[in-house]
Structure 1
């Protein structure tokens, strides 16, 4: 996905995130780590404003350092 939607612009990040969401749910942590989307809530808001129905489910994730973090798990419910 990073190959198809290169760059750090918010539009590129939103495109990567939407492509991932069309395939599977993704957490804030995963979006940062694997998609280079570093402010996931802002990109989710962009997509919602474009009419995508995305729900947020809260979960606790353990990072590599062993710390627990409460993160959003985003699920694409429908496209505009």
Structure 2
């Protein structure tokens, strides 16, 4: 389990642009945002919540997997703004896309 480095300003900006492009609070909209982000880089649970407004990332990942996308989960430790350590998923889209 590795400790996450802070999200870069460039990645934050890219995630915020994706959030603006794919609006909506329903599960489908959240899945679309997450898939668009995963196509560019790995995303952890905190990044999905903070920058993509995906508030139950494991459920969205499950939906995408059921749709045929190959998404791998790695574990990492992040430290919140309050200084609390959490173990979260880091999701990576396999470059082959849907199965």
TM-score normalised by the shorter chain: which range applies?
over 0.9
**Long gaps (5+) in structure 2:** 1-17
CA distance in 1, matches of 2:19, 2:47: 13
TM-score, structure 1 normalization: 0.98
Per the TM alignment, residue 4 of structure 1 is displaced from its structure 2 partner at its CA by 1.1
The Cα RMSD (Å) is 0.6
Per the TM alignment, residue 12 of structure 1 is displaced from its structure 2 partner at its CA by 0.3
* 1:46 has 2:63 as partner: yes
Q: Which has the larger radius of gyration?
A: 2
Q: Deviations over 1:18-69 (max 9, x none)?
A: 0000000000010000000000000000000010000000000001000000
* 1:79 has 2:97 as partner: yes
CA distance in 2, matches of 1:12, 1:68: 29
Q: Which residue does 1:36 correspond to in 2?
A: 53
**Long gaps (5+) in structure 1:** none
- Structure number with the higher helix fraction is 2
Count of residue pairs the alignment pairs up: 80
TM-score, structure 2 normalization: 0.79
